[in-house]
Amino acid sequence: MYKQLTYAERYALDVCLRDGLSYRKIAVKLGRSPNTWSLEVLENGGSREAYNPRLAQLSSSLRKWQANSRNPAKDPEVWAFVLGKLNQRFSPEQIAKDIVTQFRVHQFGAGKGNASSQALKA
């Protein structure tokens, strides 16, 4: 059964990469296959040096959000907005809040928290 990586796992991966550990050693240390970690780095940074756990978490959350069939904002304009905010060094929480107000997106998971917590912790 597939289980998505958490921010804590992504952060731990980043620390291991900075320490120069191989994917096999990272796999042993973090309890997932070497392939999981190499694909994570390839998909969310392209190289060991370029990997950013914060950006990887946001990208993952946004991909999941984009794929959600109930998502009312499947729009390239939203993606451009998010990328612009990331370049301005806004936090994922700030970006999610701004998406809700800027694009009048309905809150995710009504009754289960606000839009920022649902959109970015998905």
Q: How far is CA 102 from CA 50, 82, 94, in A?
A: 30, 11, 12
- Overall pTM > 0.85: no
- Local confidence pLDDT in tens for the 122 residues of the chain: 568 899 999 999 999 999 999 999 999 999 999 999 999 999 888 888 999 999 999 888 888 777 765 555 567 787 788 889 988 999 888 888 888 788 765 544 433 444 444 444 44
Angle of helix 53-67 relative to helix 7-18, nearest 10 degrees, comes to: 140
Give the domain ranges of the chain: 7-43, 53-121
By the 8 A CB rule, do 19 and 10 touch?
A: no
Longest dimension (CA), the chain: 45
